Homo-oligomer: A and B are copies of this chain.
Amino acid sequence: MSSRLIGVLSGKNFVPPPLWMMRQAGRYLPEYQETRKKAGSFWTMCQTPELAAEVTLQPVRRFGFDAAILFSDILTVPAALGLKVAFDDGPKLPTITSTQGLERAHEAWAAALAPAYETLRLVRPALGADTALLGFAGAPWTLATYMAAGGGGDEQKAAKLWAYRDPAGFAKLIDVLVDAVSRHLVGQLQAGADAVQIFDSWASGLTPQGFKDWVVRPTARVVAAVRAVLPEAKIIGFPRGATLAGLERYARETGVDAVSLDTAVPVGWAAEKLGDDVALQGNLDPLALLAGGDALARGVAAILEAGRNSRLVFNLGHGILPETPIAHVEQLIALVRGSS
């Protein structure tokens, strides 16, 4: 693959930088809404390779982004561990408080994860060589927060309490997840993904020790396990809401090739402190994209300026919001691509 995104992950610097958007296959696109209606449910869409491939390709077709990212959900991994996942009003899954009954039973594993691999096999040949195909998984800590709380939202509370009260038991859950996440990432890379992103969406609010124990170490283990099978695997990590001290540790100790920055991280700081170790991805505020106009132009300019001597992948600091006008995405692309 000769895509510019993989180039950045491999040590090159491009001006203008390659560009994609987290949640680029999403509700702001009318063609996505249409496929979603046809599918009937979000989960059906994730688990039906033809539909998942279609929505994965839609934003690349419309905007010519430098990467496509597999349409799937981080809760496919808990599902693969035998937990029944539903998406009625937001994600729902059974609350767990121990690892009993959690196993990679072959049947649940294949039912939950095979569709992702099949989707990647369908998408890769439909993309040009200059477009990277990304797989992804939730990080062990973030998956644990969902599994301990039984749902989505700002619910680190149950996982934190478990980790405080029974560190050994919680470590067993993390072990199970390190294994499952690693295997799922390997599966995606073997099915055609050119790189993978690990989403630690609930990495905020941990103590420094907690961040080290539950974010940095499990991620380092995942990266090592993936590279044990695929030594050249390219991996992006996104510890959303990490402190700057946490980001330094994450960049140095996990082995990821790139760190995706949330909106609050100063790109200039990241270029100086992390830029020798990793490529940087990010970090336009999705609300600046929604607002458009001057706010969007200023936000893009600030990131390009601060990151111009770095290996940068232009992205948002978090997923695009469903109410974002398509015209603003077009404005974003023009601003980034006109920046050479």
In this complex, the member of A154, A167, A204, A293 whose beta carbon has the largest number of chain B beta carbons within 10 angstroms is A204
The answer to the question of A61 belonging to the interface, with a C-beta cut-off of 8 Å to chain B, is: no
Is the pair B288, A164 in contact by a Cβ cutoff of 8 Å?
yes
- Taken residue by residue from 271 to 300, chain A's Cβ proximity to chain B (1 for < 8 Å, 0 otherwise) reads as 000000000000001011011010100110
Fill in one digit per residue for A286-330: 1 if any B CB lies within 8 Å of its CB, else 0. 011011010100110010000000000000000000000000000
A165 within 8 A of B: yes
Distance, CA A210 to CA B245, complexed state (A): 21
Residue from the list B164, B264, B287, B288 in contact with A246, Cβ < 8 A: B264
- Are B241 and A204 closer than 8 Å at their CB atoms? yes
Chain B nearest CB from A23 CB (Å) reads 16
A263 sits at the interface (CB 8 A): yes
Note all chain B residues with C-beta closer than 8 A to A298. Answer: 209
Within 8 Å of chain B (Cβ to Cβ): is A265? Answer: yes
Question: Of the candidates B241, B262, B295, which one forms a contact with A164 in the assembled complex, judged by CB atoms under 8 Å apart?
Answer: B295
Interface of A (DSSP majority class): helix
Partner of A287, one of B164, B295, B302: B164
CB distance from A106 to the nearest CB of B (A): 37
**A7 close to chain B: CB less than 8 A:** no
A208 interface residue per 8 A CB criterion: yes
Minimum CB–CB distance from A130 to chain B (whole Å) comes to: 31
Complex Cα spacing A269 to B211, Å? 15
A207 touches B285 (CB 8 A): yes
Using known A-B contacts A206-B264, A264-B205, A299-B207, determine if residue A287 contacts B161 with beta carbons closer than 8 Å: yes
- Contacting pair A161 B266 (CB below 8 A): no
The residue of chain B having its C-beta at the shortest distance from the C-beta of A206 within the complex is B264
Contact partner, A165, options B207, B266, B295, Cβ 8 Å: B295
Does A243 reach chain B (CB closer than 8 Å)?
yes
Given contacts A287-B164, A295-B164, contact A208 B241 (CB under 8 A): no
Q: Is the CB of A161 within 8 A of B291?
A: yes
Q: Which residues of the other chain, B, contact A263 by a CB distance below 8 angstroms?
A: 205-207
Which has the most chain B C-beta neighbours within 10 Å: A167, A243, A266, A290? A243
Task: Give the distance to chain B from A203, nearest Cβ to Cβ, in Å.
Answer: 9
Residue among B157, B210, B287, B302 making CB contact with A160, cutoff 8 Å: B287
Task: Report the minimum CB–CB distance from A145 to chain B (whole Å).
Answer: 12
Interface residues of A in 234-272 (CB under 8 A from B): 241, 243-246, 262-266, 269
Expressed in whole angstroms, the Cα–Cα distance for A13 and B175 within the complex equals: 43
Contact of A264 among B157, B204, B269 (CB under 8 A): B204
> Separation in Å of the A11 CB from the closest CB of chain B?
27
| Besides A160-B285, A167-B295, 10 other A-B contacts (C-beta < 8 A) | A157-B287, A160-B287, A164-B285, A164-B295, A204-B264, A205-B263, A207-B302, A241-B241, A243-B264, A246-B264
